[in-house]
Structure 1
Amino acid sequence: MKKLGEKKWVISLGIAGALLLSACGNKTEATETSKNPDAETVIVGTGNVYQPFVYLDENNELQGYDVEILRAIDEKLDQYNFEYESMDFKNILTSLSAGKVRLAAHQYEQNEERAAKYLYGEVGYTDYTLYIVHDGSNKVEYQSLDDLVGKKVFASPGGNVAYLLEKYNKEHDEKIEVIYNEASSEVFVKGLQNGTADAAILTKYDTNKYNEQFNADLQISGDPVNVSKTYFLYEKGDEELKEAVDGALQELIDDGSLAKLSVEILGDDYTK
C-alpha cells in the first residue's frame, strides 16, 4: 500500500494493552508539516481499538482505514493541518460536544439521535449495511427485527446497533433482549457460538472478517435491517470544515483512491 505517512505500520496490539490505552486520550501529531505555515489546526477525535478502521499499533501509533482516508484528505486541504487524538469510543462524541475535537471519525452511521446533536458530512465513505447474523449451528433464519423479539442480541453501548434495538423496543410492546457487549472479537464470536447471545447485527465485512479470523460459521439471515454509509461528524455550525472535507473526500471517490484504500486495507471495495 502506498504510505501516506513516513512509517510502515504493523497491525498488532494486545487486547489488554489496548484496553489500558483506551482509558485515556492519546494525542498523535500530524504526520507531515503543512506546506502552509498559516494552516488552521483541526483536532480529529477517533478511537484506538477498532481494527482495521482506527487503532493503535504496537508502537502506539494511530492507524487504520478511517485514519488513512483523513490523511489523504489532509493532503488536499492546504488550509488545514489535521492532528489526531485517540480515545475510548464512548468519549469521542462527548469530546466533540465539549469542543475538544472538531471532527469525529469512527465509522459513524446516520441516526436521528446523533443528527439532532451533531453535523453529519454529506459524503459517505464506507458501506455500512447491517444484517442479522447468527452461528451456523443454530438452524434458524431471522428475516427482520420482529424475529428477534425475546432473543438475546449483542450490541456495543453507544453504537448504531444499540440505537436500532433500543428504538425498536421503545416502539413495540414485545422487546428484544439487548446484551451490551464490549468484549474482544474472540469473546464476541464465542458468545454467539455458546448461546450467550442468539444473534448479532453486523456488516458483511465484519461477518466475513470474523469467519476468517476465528474459523467461525456466522451466517447472515434475510434482508438488511438497516442500509447506511459511514460519515465524519462535526459540531453544529461548522459548515466550512464539513464542506472542505466533503469536497476532498468526493475527489478521492471520483479518482478511485478511496476504493483503492478499501481494497488494500479491508480486502475488498466496501465504498459502494
Structure 2
Amino acid sequence: MRKGLLTILILFLSVVLIACGSEGDSKWGELQEEGELVVGTSGTLFPTSYYPEGSDELTGYDVEIMREVAKRLDLELSFEEYGVDGLFSSIESGRVDMVINDMEITNSRQENYTFSEPYKYSYSTMIVREDDLSGIESLEDIEGKKHGGGATTVFAQIAEHFGAEIKSYGNVANDIYLRDVANGRTDLVINDYYLQSLALKALPEIEVQLHPDLQFHPTNSGIVMPGDADELKEKVDEVLNEMREDGTLTELSKEFFGGQDASKEPEKEVEEIEGLDL
C-alpha cells in the first residue's frame, strides 16, 4: 500500500515539475505550434517602421530586422499597427507576440517585459525652431516649454524630468511633430538622433533643426517580448547575434540610416542625465 502511494506521489511530482519546467518556455512553444509571429509596430516612424510614399508595403530598419528574425526562426510574420502609447498594452493583452519600434531598453520596462539584446545604439537629440532654437541653450531651459511626442516614451520622461509640458499625439507621421514646433504649438521634440536627422533630411521645407549643442542620454533599442518569454529571448538573441556577425545588421542600418551603422555603439561623447530614473 505504501509502495503504491509512493509511486503515485512520484508520478504526481514529475507531472508538476514538467509543467513548471515548460511554463517559462510556453511562448516559444506556442509560436512553434502556431507557426506565425505577430509583431506590433507603429508604421509611422521613419526610417524604422513606415510606408514609403506611394507604397502600401511596410518597411524600415526595424521592420526588415523583424522579417529576417522571423525567417531564421522559421516562422510566418504579420504586423499589427498601433500608436506608440498602445504598443506595450498590445503585448499585455496578447494581441501581439512582440513589439519592435525603436523601443529603448530601460530598467523600469525590464521589470514587466523581456527585451532582446540591442540591435541599435544611439543617443537623444532635440528638434527646435531654426530662428531661435526655441529659446533653449541647455537642458535646464526646457522647463516650461511644450514637448511634442507620445506620453509614455522615454523622450517624454526626459522632457518631464526637466519640467516641460507634454503634448501627446495619436499615431501620426513625423511631419506633424515638426510642423508643430515650427508654428509654435510646441517648442521641442526630443527623440533619437538617427530618426530625427533623417526626418529633417526628408522634410527640409519645415523650418526646424537639430539643436547644435545638445547630445544626451545614450540609448539602446531591443525587441520587446512578454515578461516570461525566456526561451523566446534566447532564440531571438541567437538570431540577432548571427545577423551582427554576418553583417546583416550593418547592411540594413546603412540602407535605412543614410550609410551610418546604428548597430554599433557611437563613438561620440554623449551627456548622461543625472537623476533620471528609467
Whether the TM-score (by the shorter chain) exceeds 0.5 is yes
- What is the letter of the counterpart of residue 100 of structure 2? A
Mapping for residues 11-30 of structure 1, pairs under 5 Å: none
TM-fit CA distance, 1:38: 6.3
Q: Aligned in 2, Cα 1:112/1:257: closer, same or farther, shift over 3 Å?
A: same
Counterpart check, 1:245 vs 2:236: yes
Q: 2:219 aligns with which of 202, 212, 228?
A: 228
Q: Which residue of 2 aligns with 1:194?
A: 183
**3-state SS of 1:242 partner:** helix
Which has a greater percent of strand? 1
Counterpart check, 1:155 vs 2:149: yes
TM-fit CA distance, 1:179: 2.4
TM-fit CA distance, 1:86: 2.8
Counterpart check, 1:165 vs 2:154: no
**3-state SS of 1:51 partner:** coil
CA RMSD after TM alignment: 2.5
- What is the letter of the counterpart of residue 142 of structure 2? L
- 2:180 and 2:122 map into 1 onto residues whose CA distance is 23
**3-state SS of 2:111 partner:** helix
**3-state SS of 1:201 partner:** strand
Q: Which residue of 2 aligns with 1:44?
A: 39
- 2:84 and 2:125 map into 1 onto residues whose CA distance is 22
Q: 1:73 aligns with which of 69, 75, 78?
A: 69
- 2:180 and 2:40 map into 1 onto residues whose CA distance is 30
Aligned residues: 227
Q: Which residue of 1 aligns with 2:84?
A: 89
User: In percent, how many aligned pairs have the same letter?
Assistant: 23
- What is the letter of the counterpart of residue 220 of structure 2? K
TM-fit CA distance, 1:48: 2.4
Mapping for residues 207-226 of structure 1, pairs under 5 Å: 207-215=196-204, 216-226=207-217
The structure that has the greater radius of gyration is 2
Q: 1:205 aligns with which of 181, 188, 194?
A: 194
Q: Aligned in 2, Cα 1:48/1:74: closer, same or farther, shift over 3 Å?
A: same
Runs (5+) with no aligned partner, structure 2: 1-31, 265-278
- 1:195 and 1:85 map into 2 onto residues whose CA distance is 33
TM-fit CA distance, 1:234: 0.7
- 1:231 and 1:254 map into 2 onto residues whose CA distance is 17
